[in-house]
Amino acid sequence: MPDPYLFTVTDHVATFSINGAPWNLMSLEYIDRLEEQLPDVLANDDIRAMVFTGEGLDHFSAGMNLKQIPEGIKRAGSPEAFFGQRHRVLDRIENGGTPAIATLFGYCLGGGLELPLACHFRIAADTGARIGLPEMDLGSVPAWGGSARLPRTVGRAYALDMILRGRNVDGPEAYRIGLVTEVLPLPDLKARAQALGEELASQPRQAVRSMLDAIVGHETKTLDQSMADEAAAVAANRGTPDAKEGMRAFMEKRKPVFNQ
């Protein structure tokens, strides 16, 4: 059996590429391996950004392999445990302290959107993308956190429009509603994800972690809580080697070199 995803690290950027072209379905083995490997990746200070993509240029992911659901529930012991594993994996991506980038092209449906929603940056192809949560068309509902994260990303009105109607959006519309931060030609998409990862990896590691801790999940925090998180981030980054390097570089009128 081929690896469920291909894993590489280049210039401090770890890439997870679903290895099932053209559809790149998220198999049981894909989630199992992610759950096993993510803790080591997130604990590795030499890895400072992550990219989630799919092999080929046809589709990021058409979602979960639905034929495997009965087997997955049997393995897990219950539907709650089965879907709970997916919640754990996506929560680890979102709250692990390492910036995560997703590439959206071709089909990005069901889990193929729910995983990107757990990432901090999403970039899409300017043509050909079909991005959505089509579970209503199956008489069901999103089960990997889609109904929780999509409204926090695009707002209640757009989330209801997409979920209740089973409506897909393309790259330009995803950009217009705030679902993605960039759209660009498909042939450039993966290179851009790597470049963005390298840019994030060059930022001061501790400061990036602090800001992710402060900003992720801000929708459920009061203003006072968010201000307290910022104050904690300021304290955690005061006097660090990167803070000193940043100030020296400013005074010397040069670009700082962080994470030395």
> Do 192 and 235 fall within a single domain?
no
**Residue 181 pLDDT grade (very low, low, confident, very high; cuts 50, 70, 90):** very high
Rounded to an integer, what distance in angstroms lies between the CA atom of residue 144 and that of residue 134? 13
**Residue 160 pLDDT grade (very low, low, confident, very high; cuts 50, 70, 90):** very high
Secondary structure (3-state) at 83:
helix
The residue range of the domain holding 117 is: 5-201
- Residue 223 inside a domain? The answer is yes
- Residue 238 inside a domain? The answer is yes
**Residue 161 pLDDT grade (very low, low, confident, very high; cuts 50, 70, 90):** very high
> Do 18 and 35 fall within a single domain?
yes
> What was the pLDDT predicted at 192?
98
> Do 96 and 144 fall within a single domain?
yes
> Do 135 and 39 fall within a single domain?
yes
- Closest-CA residue to 97 (of 205, 247, 241, 8): 205
Handedness of CA 188, 119, 111, 172 (dihedral sign): negative
pLDDT for 135 beyond 90: yes
Mean pLDDT of the 60-70 span: 95
pLDDT for 206 beyond 90: yes
pLDDT for 48 beyond 90: yes
Mean pLDDT of the 175-197 span: 98
Question: Is residue 15 within 8 Å of residue 194, measured between CB atoms?
Answer: yes
Could you tell me which residues come within 8 angstroms of residue 16 by beta carbon, excluding any fewer than 6 positions away? 5, 6, 7, 34, 50, 51, 52, 53
- Residue that is written with structure tokens 């991506």 in the block: 93
pLDDT for 58 beyond 90: yes
Point out the residues that are catalytic: 114, 135
> What was the pLDDT predicted at 245?
87
Could you tell me which residues come within 8 angstroms of residue 149 by beta carbon, excluding any fewer than 6 positions away? 114, 117, 118
CATH of the domain at 131: 3.90.226.10
> Do 155 and 243 fall within a single domain?
no
> Do 97 and 131 fall within a single domain?
yes
Query: How many structural domains does the chain have?
Result: 2
> Do 184 and 99 fall within a single domain?
yes
- Residue 260 inside a domain? The answer is no
> Do 97 and 187 fall within a single domain?
yes
User: How far does CA 193 lie from the centroid of its chain?
Assistant: 12
> Do 90 and 65 fall within a single domain?
yes
> What was the pLDDT predicted at 218?
80
**Residue 141 pLDDT grade (very low, low, confident, very high; cuts 50, 70, 90):** very high
Rounded to an integer, what distance in angstroms lies between the CA atom of residue 80 and that of residue 90? 15
> What was the pLDDT predicted at 246?
87
> Do 125 and 229 fall within a single domain?
no
DSSP codes, 210-226: HHHHHHTTGGGS-HHHH
| Tokens found for residue 226 | 């968010």
Counting Cβ atoms within 10 Å, is residue 236 exposed (0-12), middle (13-18) or buried (19+)? middle
Please give the residue that has the higher pLDDT: either 113 or 238.
Answer: 113
- Residue 258 inside a domain? The answer is no
pLDDT for 1 beyond 80: no
> What was the pLDDT predicted at 22?
97
> Do 176 and 121 fall within a single domain?
yes
**Residue 219 pLDDT grade (very low, low, confident, very high; cuts 50, 70, 90):** confident
